[in-house]
Structure 1
Amino acid sequence: MSTAAAPLYADHLATLQARTATALERVGFDHLVVPSGTAHYQVFDDRDYPYAVNPQFKHWAPLTRNPGSWLVVTPGAKPKLVYLQPRDYWHVVPQAPEGYWVEHFDIVVIRKPEEAMQHLPKNASRCAILGEPESALGKYAAFKPNNPQPVLDHLDYHRAYKTPYEVEMLREATRRGVRAHRAAERAFRAGASEFGIHLAYCQAAGQDANDLPYANIVALNEHGAVLHYTDFDRLPPKPARSFLLDAGASHGGYACDITRTHALDTAGEFQALVDAVDAAQQKMCAQVRDGFDYKQLHLDAHLALAGILKDFGIVTVSPEEALATGVSSAFFPHGIGHGLGLQVHDVAGFAASERGGTIDKPDGHPYLRLTRVLEPGFVVTIEPGLYFIDMLLEDLRAAGRGGSVDWDRVEAFRPYGGIRIEDNVVCTGGEPVNLTREAFAAG
């Protein structure tokens, strides 16, 4: 675990306790109770799906492989952790709790999941219980998650404001992800297949597919035009031209989310297009400022990318016209980014306030995942992209906008698939902190 994060943990916990006290007071509950989650089994089979910890649970402690455990938070008292450490010779049993965070909890170790009942509050009706239905305990499932919306609204809304501890955890995840990105690029340039690149990435990250925060997107050539390409061809294409890698890493329950695009010919026109997107992306990252509307950042990105398309002769209209007529969306069909933290697409991206409500997306931009005004503590991704997607280009022609595009230029770039550059950026009271560029610069 990150040694830099350890001294920041006590303040992080105090922040969570203050948020919880306010949320409970709002609905008149006495306790916050959070199950870590349970194993899920495939239908008609005895195989379980990869376990995914409840994000509300790992917000408090860096525990990600502890199904059947519970957290109890009572304002004015030390948090209680009911820690399942089963007697089991079929599977690896979680180690006894250890680390910088342990002293901040009253910890009770149990051997069977049902033993948690005797350590939870006696009256479930006085508890806000946040979790999945499968976590229910007790006779007739008396103790089951109720997920009160006012509590979720308050806690989720404030999760956008990362504590210094959380920023350090994200920084450590980013270091791991950057190390793996470097290894993946080396594998690409050595002629590896998508599957081989994926394996090189996992090896360098020290994490397998179930440890990573999301499925790796490893796309060579035309596959870069599929936004979530995860098929992993076993043989490399001939010739290999381009490589798009969207892959993250995890650390203590926190995720990084990084994308890079590479051309095999570093002196060719596709590399020049990558360089242009990269330069524009860094300017977008510089817009991550206190008080700046993320919706406007998205629209500004469309104008910048449309300008690049015009400069490269791919579109024939002005950036303003390309945005207004939907031409830019055919080449940049997703949002400029999203919140990042315990989840890759962190919660409450559209929240109007801590009491709920929604901030609408701009008209014509259905895939934007964050519409809030940026504030210090926000951590967001900035991920502009340009793609040559047959389906969207066909739709553009069908809509009567074909004259806005130079189709010969499109054909020249189609074999490369697309470009995406993604960094993880912290909003502060001054200059933004780009965790991704920071890690790449460190070597």
Structure 2
Amino acid sequence: MTQTQLEALYSLHIQELQSRTRQVLQREQLDALVIHSGQAKRVFLDDMDYPFKVNPHFKHWLPVTEVPNSWLVVNGEDKPKLIYYQPNDFWHKVIELRDEFWLEHFDIQILTQANEVEQHLPRVLTDYAYIGEHLGVAKALGFEQVNPEAVLNYLHYHRAYKTDYEHECLRRSTEKAVKGHIAAKQAFLAGRTEFEINQAYLNACLHDENQVPYTNIIALNENAAILHYMVRDNQAPKELRSFLIDAGASYNGYASDITRTYSLKDDAFADLVKVMDDVQQKLVKGLKPQLKYGDLHVQCHLELAHVLEEFGIINIGAEQAVEKQITRTFFPHGLGHHLGLQVHDVGGFMADVRGTHVEPPKDHPYLRTTREVEVGQVFTIEPGLYFIDSLLAELKDSSAGKYVNWNKVDAFKPYGGIRIEDNVIVHHTHNENMTRNAGLD
């Protein structure tokens, strides 16, 4: 897609956001939303700030992710007002406005002093809603409506329906991450350390640590059994066996989220990875409109049970293994989640615009979305199979422990575990697997 085509999609994206804003303001009898990009947060007892993370409601409108103290005033009718922070500062890099493709869609006013923003806002803010995290700032400015629940519910519910512009940003984010994954795999095969593999990933993505959408998981051997492993050892293990990487990238504020698992040798663990990859692709195909995402998660447990049975890890039938909750030991997290402006994008448990909450299945409390799948939505699909000491110990001590071949478990434990994750757009006639399309097997 050319830049001109992307700009055309962005124009339609702004029209859609204007429409949503207009509707929610009418519903809640408000005049406008005032969206704060956020502000820097000082490290406790220090003179440095934490890395800035922009308000996702702000970057929904425009691809500005590194500028604090900026504001949007939107009412769904007039051209949105952008109050852009551009201080006179010789200590830090000031991100100046240039000839950006999105400029024409905003009425831009420059703010040079963060504490003078009230000069750019209406004097009376009674019917204006502040959207942001800095409640003290909102109170000081005189906002009476601060993050109204009904407004947020409406916006979050609709965030699941991605525009064509958002789909393209997610494709480009995925393409960047795939470059990183390919580089990371090559580094693993070359015997690099976790630290070195992570550096190879960042170099290929042209990201630094603060630009990736979440902290990369770079896990060798047993470390792959730690679901959120973030240590990155700078010493190579004595014997290299396996590698799990869970890492994404960012494009115009949109996140990708991809996981792969590799075996160094052509061994039984490599066979297990191959079968889990087949399961993952089957589940991607099973993602269909009108399906409850939770139902696909339950199906995943049955698929996993068949894998455990095939490899002799359990000595009980697949259906019985699910019924006895044995698979929860080997697959303790959810199948996936919504993806977009945030890695775990909002709205996954909402049944309607009022925010009616739909609980996950009783036996699967860690599922991140229970929503019905619809066209235009974007999900991750990430089944896993892990050998986690604490969970295995609980299973071994339970009445179901007798249904596990523990010698098989012991043989696979040094490899840690497997997770395979793709980013998928749901269309009317098919699912678009952005990860595979970008060239990652």
**TM-score when normalising by structure 2:** 0.97
The letter for the 2-side match of 1:116 is V
- Displacement of 1:135 in angstroms is 6.8
| Equivalent position of 1:25 in the other structure | 26
| Equivalent position of 1:254 in the other structure | 254
For the residues of structure 2 that align with 1:399 and 1:23, how far apart are their CA atoms?
51
How big is each residue's C-alpha offset from its partner over 1:135-170, in whole Å with a ceiling of 9 and x where there is no partner? 7168x4424770001100000000000000000000
The letter for the 1-side match of 2:17 is L
| Equivalent position of 2:365 in the other structure | 366
- Displacement of 1:115 in angstroms is 2.6
CA contact (8 A) 2:126 2:144 kept: no
| Equivalent position of 2:130 in the other structure | 129
Are the structure 2 counterparts of residues 145 and 205 from structure 1 closer, same or farther at C-alpha, using a change threshold of 3 Å?
A: farther
* 1:247-396 paired onto structure 2 within 5 Å: 247-265=247-265, 267-396=266-395
| Equivalent position of 1:106 in the other structure | 107
* 1:39-438 paired onto structure 2 within 5 Å: 39-133=40-134, 136=137, 140-143=140-143, 146-265=146-265, 267-438=266-437
CA contact (8 A) 2:256 2:343 kept: yes
The letter for the 1-side match of 2:126 is S
How big is each residue's C-alpha offset from its partner over 1:70-103, in whole Å with a ceiling of 9 and x where there is no partner? 0000232110100001100000001214321110
| SS of equivalent to 2:249 | strand
For the residues of structure 2 that align with 1:137 and 1:411, how far apart are their CA atoms?
56
| Equivalent position of 1:16 in the other structure | 17
- Displacement of 1:2 in angstroms is 7.3
The letter for the 2-side match of 1:37 is G
Unaligned runs of 5+ in 2: none
How big is each residue's C-alpha offset from its partner over 1:196-224, in whole Å with a ceiling of 9 and x where there is no partner? 10111111111011100000000000000
The letter for the 1-side match of 2:264 is L
How big is each residue's C-alpha offset from its partner over 1:315-338, in whole Å with a ceiling of 9 and x where there is no partner? 111221111111000000000000
CA contact (8 A) 2:128 2:145 kept: no
Are the structure 2 counterparts of residues 2 and 145 from structure 1 closer, same or farther at C-alpha, using a change threshold of 3 Å?
A: farther
CA contact (8 A) 1:136 1:144 kept: no
How big is each residue's C-alpha offset from its partner over 1:381-413, in whole Å with a ceiling of 9 and x where there is no partner? 000000000100111122221111100000110
The letter for the 2-side match of 1:8 is L
CA contact (8 A) 2:248 2:255 kept: yes
Over the aligned positions, Cα root-mean-square deviation in angstroms equals 1.5
| SS of equivalent to 1:353 | coil
| SS of equivalent to 1:259 | strand
For the residues of structure 1 that align with 2:136 and 2:195, how far apart are their CA atoms?
36
| SS of equivalent to 1:386 | strand
CA contact (8 A) 1:26 1:150 kept: no
CA contact (8 A) 1:289 1:430 kept: no
CA contact (8 A) 1:133 1:144 kept: no
Are the structure 2 counterparts of residues 37 and 303 from structure 1 closer, same or farther at C-alpha, using a change threshold of 3 Å?
A: same
For the residues of structure 2 that align with 1:353 and 1:229, how far apart are their CA atoms?
35
CA contact (8 A) 1:386 1:419 kept: yes
CA contact (8 A) 2:376 2:425 kept: yes
The letter for the 1-side match of 2:357 is T
How big is each residue's C-alpha offset from its partner over 1:267-304, in whole Å with a ceiling of 9 and x where there is no partner? 21101000000011001001121111101100000100
* Higher deviation after alignment, 275-284 or 122-131: 122-131
How big is each residue's C-alpha offset from its partner over 1:36-74, in whole Å with a ceiling of 9 and x where there is no partner? 000001211112111000000000000001100000002
Are the structure 2 counterparts of residues 249 and 144 from structure 1 closer, same or farther at C-alpha, using a change threshold of 3 Å?
A: farther
The letter for the 1-side match of 2:213 is P
CA contact (8 A) 1:30 1:75 kept: no
Unaligned runs of 5+ in 1: none
| SS of equivalent to 1:124 | coil
The letter for the 2-side match of 1:264 is L
CA contact (8 A) 2:224 2:415 kept: yes
| SS of equivalent to 2:231 | coil
- Displacement of 1:118 in angstroms is 1.4
**TM-score when normalising by structure 1:** 0.97
| SS of equivalent to 1:34 | strand
| SS of equivalent to 2:321 | helix
Identity over aligned pairs, percent: 49
